[in-house]
Amino acid sequence: MQSDPTPIHTDALVIGAGPVGLFQAFQLGLQGIHAQVVDVLEQAGGQCSELYPDKPIYDIPGLPFSTGRELTQRLLEQVAPFKPAFHFNQQVSQVTRQVDGRWLVATPNQEFLTRTLFIAAGVGAFVPKELKVDGLAAFAGRQLFYRLNRLAHLAGQRVVVVGGEDSAVDNAVVLAKGPHQAASVTLLHRRDVLQASPQALEKLAQLRASGRITFITGQITGIEAQGDRLTAIAVSTPNDQTLNLPLDALLVCQGISPKLGPIADWGLAMERKQLRVDPATFATSEAGIYAVGDINSYPGKKKLIVCGFHEATLAAFAAAAYLNPQASGVLQYTTSSALLQQRLGVL
């Protein structure tokens, strides 16, 4: 992805597209504030989509139960009338106050000039779990990948996919039969039991039966290279054999882990790796910056999705007053307000 040197000007930027970040964009929309949304992952949903997409959640108001995937889809449908602009695969690295009071927010690919900033980063940015093998890191971005924006990069290549969950199985399936087929696909996992959805496992079984995917149980213990090219990996199997697997590309899908990352360097007041906020407004120690969800700390804090929804609501009201101090601030209800219903597109 190329960097865009032109900053995007906005009234609100939300960092994090998990459930609380999505609901934050919705609540801002009700206040007439359009939001840009940035997330380090390649899709919306945060922990819900990445860690428990198919596990039931029982404490969302009005829903007896919902999977993480279903909750994400419902929230995307809810916020759709406000047309938030999403920027995926981008991690915010710098936040700097400008002389006019706005915040310059930078990712490796884009800059934003925003009047208000909402940090809904959960327990931190989710980053891929790296494969620790001597010498392997030198091939990152060329032959070693942890995320792929376009699988077309691997068309016609010999690809080894590492992992045993949905992302690994799904990528292997797409590479084996999608529009950008790889020359060969090997799925490598440390165990012979895969933790993927039944639908994904059924597709995998069909492709294994047809010879389009080879499945190997084992762990990578070494690499082979010629010059600046990775040519093969050494795999230790459970029966103490060592296999040599020639390859052109290695796609590692071993899950993700949260890291606080650059947030700690933004000059915001923190307490035990969480941002201290005013529970009346969820404002941080810097004017115009708010923190909602698991990233914040205040007396009585509970790390629940429903509490994050409450926080996002109050933060949106506080931001509306911050952006427009002359507004009446009269509370309006979606059941009776023509203005809110117009913003929602139901009138």
Cβ neighbours of residue 24 closer than 8 Å, sequence gap 6 or more: 14, 35, 118, 120, 292, 312, 315, 316
How far apart CA 220 and CA 320 sit, in angstroms, is 53
Task: Give the per-residue pLDDT at 125.
Answer: 60
Condensed to tens digits (0 to 9), the pLDDT of residues 78-103 reads: 999 999 999 998 989 899 999 999 99
Q: Are 61 and 74 in contact (CB under 8 A)?
A: no
What is the C-alpha to C-alpha distance for residues 221 and 243, in angstroms, rounded to an integer?
10
Taken in order 206, 210, 216, 222, the sign of the CA dihedral is negative
pLDDT bin (cut points 50, 70, 90) of residue 216 is: very high
Over range 218-246, report the average pLDDT.
Answer: 94
User: How does 243-274 read in b/e, with b if 16+ C-beta sit within 10 Å?
Assistant: eebebbbbbbbbbbebeebebeebebebeeeb
What is the distance, to the nearest Å, from the Cα of residue 287 to the centroid of all Cα atoms in its chain? 26
φ, ψ (nearest 5 deg) of residue 104: -95, 115
| 11 has a pLDDT exceeding 60 | yes
What's the CA gap between 24 and 17, in Å, rounded? 9
- Contact by Cβ (8 Å): 16, 46: yes
DSSP strand pairing (296-297 vs 249-252)? unpaired
How confident is the model at residue 252, as a pLDDT?
Answer: 93
Query: What was the pLDDT predicted at 197?
Result: 84
pLDDT confidence of 259, banded at 50, 70, 90? low
Say which residue the tokens 């290279």 belong to.
Answer: 225
pLDDT value at 282 more than 90 = yes
- β-partners of residue 162 are 188, 252
Sorted by where each starts, the structural domains of the chain and their CATH numbers stand as 8-127+257-344 (3.50.50.60), 130-254 (3.50.50.60)
Binned at pLDDT 50, 70 and 90, residue 4 comes out as: low
